[in-house]
Amino acid sequence: MTGVRKKAFRASFWHCLGDPGNSIESDAAEFFEDGLLLVEDGKVSAIGPADKLLAGLSSDFELIDRSGSLIVPGFIDTHVHYPQTDMIAAYGSKLLDWLQCYAYPTERAFGDPEHAADVADFFVKELLRNGTTTALVFATVHPTSVDAIFTAALRENMRVLSGKVLMDRNCPADLRDDALTAYNDSKLLLERWHGRGRLGYAITPRFAATSTDDQLAAAGRLASEYPDSYVHTHVAENRDEVELVAKMFPQSRSYLGVYDQHGLVRERSVFAHCLHLDESDRQCMSRKGAAMSFCPSSNLFLGSGLFNLELAEQHGVRVGLGTDVGAGTSFGMLNTMSEAYKVLHLEHQPMSPVKALYLATLGGARALYLDDRVGNFEAGKDADFVVLNRAATPLLERRLAMTENVADTFFVLMMLGDDRSVDATYLMGELAHEANHA
Amino acid sequence: MTGVRKKAFRASFWHCLGDPGNSIESDAAEFFEDGLLLVEDGKVSAIGPADKLLAGLSSDFELIDRSGSLIVPGFIDTHVHYPQTDMIAAYGSKLLDWLQCYAYPTERAFGDPEHAADVADFFVKELLRNGTTTALVFATVHPTSVDAIFTAALRENMRVLSGKVLMDRNCPADLRDDALTAYNDSKLLLERWHGRGRLGYAITPRFAATSTDDQLAAAGRLASEYPDSYVHTHVAENRDEVELVAKMFPQSRSYLGVYDQHGLVRERSVFAHCLHLDESDRQCMSRKGAAMSFCPSSNLFLGSGLFNLELAEQHGVRVGLGTDVGAGTSFGMLNTMSEAYKVLHLEHQPMSPVKALYLATLGGARALYLDDRVGNFEAGKDADFVVLNRAATPLLERRLAMTENVADTFFVLMMLGDDRSVDATYLMGELAHEANHA
């Protein structure tokens, strides 16, 4: 018989049911030391203590024993540039120079579909190696680059949101579109990809400084015509950039205001960085339901500044974490959580392990308005998850033998772990990546 | 015949002959794409292009072919606490609380020689896994802890400087010594270990806040009696700590001044952190020949602050890098260079790859007054080196295929690499660690 595919995964499980706030221990998280996760046709049907669930389990469940491992929901990367994979860790500049010296030259090659496909395939595998199952992804200005990333993601059945970059000034001539092609190409790609598999389209102006008012207006028009599409851009990353935008848009109250004037601050709008905002900007984002992507390793790598999580939360703004490769220095969300902890600690805002888990999973899902689909193990959600290895290196094995609870274990994994700590990544209950062990 | 052990290593080599300053390309570094390193009885006898040196090579040299790898001098960790190995990545506090909650309880166990030996053995192996060949190491207040680390280091023929912690107030009663035992125990240990193998003794007051004036005076007396011993302590890491010390030593001009009054600021004195110093402090350190240990991952992890390299260099102070495990989050100097880059970039002081190499090798050697022994491949120095793998992960393999010069390669290795990037570590020409490949 064909029937429903039923799987039961046995391991330790930890996931968030809500935002833990700043508390160290929280009812917002649920832990099963010896747990069972039931998956039917790729969706979670139940989670609970193994002894209880095994007792009533029907015989048509395939049992996958991951005992000894810790399973958490798949990580959600709310801001990453796939075309910058090959220029990760490029030395020496701050944002505006870095774009000119490294980003633009690299992105130029993505008009070639073969090159785009090669990088997209590598990128998707790299995300899976690191336990990322959902990502909001910048492509390049070329429509081919969007086809490439969606094709690669669809093949893996991965949840990827992406879109063509819009930029029609202040960038190399051969990387420019214009207001009309920006609108038309985006619409075509949106119609082609949005809602296919687990894909979603993101209207993607690079940032205010590389778009004319006309182009931003066209993007806003498209955003209002397709309210369930995403808007994905950058805001207030670097002080020179903020000044540049202020000069270019003198009529706008603030950098965020430029986007707001064009209807681009709305639900499903995700703004990377948000370092140099003010009270009104945060209020605006909160009121309109837009989200911030906090990209700590990138903010450190480009010397951009320190994200203020406390202020974002005081205003009730949705926040997710982003790797922001190629300015970010790791595809790994574990490493990104470690860098987030450091950035926040410098600002006297220590982030608890459960808060880190939240930001990397359910918080990211909320930022992307996907918390009805992913982010934790509630029944009905996609069974996307990461199997974490407690002994990936001699140091981790030694250190994790001493932790007394799952929060400590997870904290050590985020501080000391890397791709080796990801033993396996599952998408909708199917194995999508498994580590090679010697 | 027994004779001299002669080895010739073939690989790419990169090392510093001097301080490259802030320049990106520098005559201070020497690169051999296809190079040969000749080692006789554990010491470098020559380095140069392989074709040239191979032509005149006598037949009694054993040829070790590491072609394809990049070899750099062994890394020098100028500040690390071996007893804190098992509490690396402990969540949530700043310095003073962190000491109470995590450091002191962990250090309590080092009165037990078996425990101390177990941790010391693991620690030494972990350093070697990460390419560190020289380290200045905190032990605990227990003399047994010093015997353990020196025994482990001697077994590996590793260059380790360490000493008994001195603390006689403001810490748990069962971790206190006093001025007299501090002096006597240190002297005994110094006589036992200093100069044995490649070991050196470091007089190690924990920090001003945990020592009485009497104890600091005793430490200063010992330091003057043994001018070639080291002094190893902390200064100005955290603002609360600085205030505490100011309250405890109201007669002192500054935190550093407390040490200076007792003759502890001198050549071979190494001060970890140095975040909250002033102009006079830096002048004092420069004049007296003392060194700073810059510990970026620790400074981020404990939210302590940002080290200012530019000011240190303007004053001509010697500076090395430190992992500062357990507050540091990695034993790896590659990762430590990456974190240093980020800290300095936040302060608009981007560190070039060659400067990073310098700080981790020759700069560290100068900080420790060991640059006549280690730090580069000049003839006569100990042949301590690291064999770096250019393809340790799929991402590194892909990214490093695109670098155009050794500086870029090294930068990518420091940003993306980890212990996997260390294929092998050699101490005096002998293999001390080799990575397991699947």
Predicted local distance difference test score (pLDDT) of residue A27: 84
A-chain CB neighbours of B301 within 8 Å are 341-342, 345, 415
Predicted local distance difference test score (pLDDT) of residue A4: 83
Q: Which amino acid would we find at residue A162?
A: S
State the Cα angle at B16 between B14 and B20, rounded to 5°: 125
Nearest neighbour of B338 by CB, restricted to A122, A329, A402: A329
Q: Model confidence over A354-409: pLDDT tens digits?
A: 999 999 999 999 999 999 999 999 999 999 999 999 999 999 999 999 999 999 99
Close Cβ partners of B52 (under 8 Å, ≥ 6 residues apart): none
The DSSP 8-state label assigned to residue B405 in this structure reads: S
Predicted local distance difference test score (pLDDT) of residue B438: 47
Q: Closest Cα of chain A to B36: distance in Å? A: 29
Whether B408 and A91 lie within 8 Å, measured CB to CB: yes
Residue in chain A closest to B84 (alpha carbons) equals A399
Nearest neighbour of B348 by CB, restricted to A303, A306, A415: A303
Predicted local distance difference test score (pLDDT) of residue B52: 97
The pLDDT-based confidence of B1 (bands split at 50, 70, 90) is very low
What are the distances in angstroms from CA A5 to CA A39, A43, A138, A373?
8, 10, 34, 19
Predicted local distance difference test score (pLDDT) of residue A22: 75
Whether A411 and B89 lie within 8 Å, measured CB to CB: yes
Q: Model confidence over B46-94: pLDDT tens digits?
A: 999 999 999 999 999 999 999 999 999 999 999 999 999 999 999 978 8
**Cα–Cα distance between B403 and B124 in angstroms, integer?**
33
**Cα–Cα distance between A37 and A53 in angstroms, integer?**
9
**Cα–Cα distance between B297 and B291 in angstroms, integer?**
19
State the Cα angle at B280 between B275 and B282, rounded to 5°: 50
Portion 29-68 of B in contact with A at CB < 8 A: none
Residue in chain A closest to B118 (alpha carbons) equals A398
Average pLDDT, chain B: 96
Q: B43-49 and B29-40 as β-strands: parallel, antiparallel, unpaired? A: antiparallel
A-chain CB neighbours of B276 within 8 Å are none
Predicted local distance difference test score (pLDDT) of residue A2: 57
Whether A85 and B398 lie within 8 Å, measured CB to CB: yes
Q: Closest Cα of chain B to A355: distance in Å? A: 12
Q: Could you please report the per-residue DSSP string of B164-186?
A: -EE--SSS-GGG---HHHHHHHH
Q: Model confidence over B96-115: pLDDT tens digits?
A: 898 999 999 999 999 999 99
Q: B422-427 and B132-138 as β-strands: parallel, antiparallel, unpaired? A: unpaired
Q: Which residue has the tokens 């069962």?
A: B174
Query: Is B141:B178 a contact under the CB 8 Å cutoff?
Result: no
The DSSP 8-state label assigned to residue B350 in this structure reads: P
Q: Model confidence over B197-214: pLDDT tens digits?
A: 999 999 999 999 999 999
Other beta carbons within 10 angstroms of residue A209's beta carbon come to 21
Q: Where are the domain boundaries for CATH 2.30.40.10 in chain A? A: 6-74+377-434
Q: Which residue has the tokens 């074709």?
A: B51
Predicted local distance difference test score (pLDDT) of residue B339: 98
- The CATH superfamily label for domain B75-331 reads Metal-dependent hydrolases (3.20.20.140)
Q: Model confidence over B335-360: pLDDT tens digits?
A: 999 999 999 999 988 899 999 999 99
Other beta carbons within 10 angstroms of residue B102's beta carbon come to 19
Question: H/E element holding B248?
Answer: helix B239-248
Portion 339-358 of A in contact with B at CB < 8 A: 341-343, 345-348, 350, 352-353
Q: Where are the domain boundaries for CATH 3.20.20.140 in chain B? A: 75-331
B-chain CB neighbours of A434 within 8 Å are none
Helix then strand then coil, in percent of chain B rounded to 5, is 40, 25, 35
**Cα–Cα distance between B173 and B107 in angstroms, integer?**
13
Q: Please indicate if any CB of chain B lies within 8 Å of the CB of A80.
A: no
What are the distances in angstroms from CA B241 to CA A86, B78, B94, B235, B276?
44, 21, 10, 9, 10
HEC readout, chain A: CCCCCEEEEEEEEEEECCCCCCCCCCCCEEEEEEEEEEEECCEEEEEEEHHHHHHCCCCCCEEEEEEEEEEEECEEEEEEEHHHHHHCCCCCCCHHHHHHHHHHHHHHHHHCHHHHHHHHHHHHHHHHHCCEEEEEEECCCCHHHHHHHHHHHHHHCCEEEEECEECCCCCCHHHCCCHHHHHHHHHHHHHHHCCCCCCEEEEEECCHHHCCHHHHHHHHHHHHHCCCCEEEEEECCCHHHHHHHHHHCCCCCCHHHHHHHCCCCCCCEEEEECCCCCHHHHHHHHHHCCEEEECHHHHHHCCCCCCCHHHHHHCCCEEEECCCCCCCCCCCHHHHHHHHHHHHHHCCCCCCHHHHHHHHCHHHHHHCCCCCCCCCCCCCCECCEEEECCCCCHHHHHHHCCCCCHHHHHHHHHHHCCHHHEEEEEECCEEEEECCCC
From the candidates B91, B276, B335, B413, which should be mutated to test the interface with A, based on the most A CB atoms within 10 A?
B91
Q: Closest Cα of chain A to B65: distance in Å? A: 24
**Cα–Cα distance between A414 and A421 in angstroms, integer?**
9
Q: Of B328, B365, B377, which is closest to residue B44 (Cα–Cα)?
A: B377
B-chain CB neighbours of A126 within 8 Å are 394-395
- The CATH superfamily label for domain B6-74+377-434 reads Urease, subunit C, domain 1 (2.30.40.10)
A-chain CB neighbours of B402 within 8 Å are 86
Portion 398-437 of B in contact with A at CB < 8 A: 398-399, 402, 407-408, 411-412, 415-416, 418-419, 436-437
Q: B368: which 2 tokens?
A: 């420790």
Whether B300 and A329 lie within 8 Å, measured CB to CB: no
A-chain CB neighbours of B412 within 8 Å are 88-89
B-chain CB neighbours of A397 within 8 Å are none
Per the DSSP assignment, residues forming a β-bridge with A106 are: none
| Backbone phi and psi for residue B271, each to the nearest 5 degrees, phi listed first | -110, 115
pLDDT surpassing 60 at residue B281: yes
Ranges of chain A with pLDDT below 70: 1-2, 25, 437-438
Burial A48-86 (b: 16+ CB within 10 A, else e): bebeebeeebeeebeebebeebbbbbbbbbbbbbbbbbb
pTM for the predicted model, two decimal places: 0.97
